[in-house]
Amino acid sequence: MKWANEITNLFKTKYPIVQAPMFGVATPEMVKSATDANVLGSLPLGDLPPEKCIELIRTTRKLTDKPFAVNLFVYEYPAITPDLIEKYNQTKSYIEDLARSKNLEVKLHDLDTLQITDYRDQVDAAIGENCKILSFIFGQLDDNSIEKLKRNNVILVGTCTSVREAKLLEAAGIDVICVQGIEAGGHRGSFETEIIPQIGGLSLLSQVYESVKVPLIYGGGIYNGKTLLAMKTLGAQGFQVGSLLLGSAESALLEFEKQKLRQSSEKDIILSKSYSGRYARGLVTEFSRLIEATPHILPYPYQNKLTAELRKEAKAHKNADFVGIWTGQSINGYSGDTTKDIFLRLIADTEKNA
């Protein structure tokens, strides 16, 4: 099978495969292991403050001298209004009381103490650290950031969940588009926050391929050679893989979370806004069931920041009912092997089926 194409030329990798930037899961060690398999590693920076971004980039650079991408959450914070303040305080009290009833003692952050990160500061940090591939989700970079990144020869990878979003990314000059099917685990990369596109990968990829000219990466449901080849047939030049790596040796998930995944079935995987305020695909938990039945879900990122201490405390107590465990629809066994070995098996399986 011929792997070399426009994506491998852009990313300077042997294979046009991307390790998904799973915030809270992907580590510098995972990025390093991915690059050892000659695929593109992705370092998730989410909405971390610039100084933490710099620390993680430098840590990763000490582990590998191969190219890797950095990934940002690109969005504007909802305005803090009296209504938001009231709802935040009500949600905070609800979650603290709920946690206490489950023997989890947490003191959640007050709204005025939350650390707010402007993604534009992260862009400056990435440029300052000479990062050459930057991917992003949740929306579109502003024009000034795009111009600045282009001036510094940074390859830009935007995420779409609809044809409309793909066209907007192409019109803005984004170099590569990652098409995210509804099957994908973790947060939906949609520009929308409420009524999100829920288009399956087969339909979405083929329609985006017919609508834009830039090279496409596909993410969502790829877990073996046949699924990868199916997306190649529909027009993908690159292939983003995430859920396959959740149980890997380099995954930041704790062992009890990995075991929860390995015991899961298709009925356990849902889309929910419960932990972050944006739709994400993962395992249903007692927390998600309870809070989805209440008005106590704030817009992103306030819900995400509010539940952070709850999730941290639940991890410390190995309580899987109060942590968000994200995964896609393709249940795969969640191997504990290294990321490198998982990718090499995927590559071999693809070549066998080609």
pLDDT at 333 over 90: yes
pLDDT at 116 over 90: no
Query: Does residue 277 belong to any structural domain of this protein?
Result: no
- What is the rounded distance in angstroms from the CA atom of residue 236 to the CA atom of residue 233? 7
**Token pair of 265 as six digits:** 């079935």
Task: Name the amino acid, one letter, at 304.
Answer: N
Place of tokens 């305020």: 277
Confidence at residue 194, expressed as pLDDT on a 0 to 100 scale: 86
CATH at 62: 3.20.20.70
Evaluate whether 208 touches 225 at the Cβ level (below 8 Å).
no
Query: Does residue 306 belong to any structural domain of this protein?
Result: no
Place of tokens 């990763």: 60
Query: Does residue 180 belong to any structural domain of this protein?
Result: yes
pLDDT tens per residue across span 42-79: 999 999 999 999 999 999 999 999 999 999 999 988 98
Question: Looking at the 3D structure of the chain, how many domains does it have?
Answer: 1
Question: Which residues are within 8 A (CB) of 316 and not within 5 positions of it... i.e. 6 or more apart?
Answer: none
Query: Does residue 181 belong to any structural domain of this protein?
Result: yes
Query: Does residue 56 belong to any structural domain of this protein?
Result: yes
pLDDT tens per residue across span 264-313: 999 999 999 999 999 999 999 999 999 999 999 999 999 999 999 999 99
Beta bridge mates, 202: none
Residue among 73, 279, 47, 69 nearest 155 (CA): 69
Query: Does residue 235 belong to any structural domain of this protein?
Result: yes
Query: Does residue 287 belong to any structural domain of this protein?
Result: no
Range of the domain at 151: 6-77+116-250+333-353
Please give the model's pTM, rounded to 2 decimal places: 0.96
Confidence at residue 332, expressed as pLDDT on a 0 to 100 scale: 94
Query: Does residue 303 belong to any structural domain of this protein?
Result: no
Asked which of 36-40, 73-77, 83-87, 246-250 is least confident by mean pLDDT, the reply is 73-77
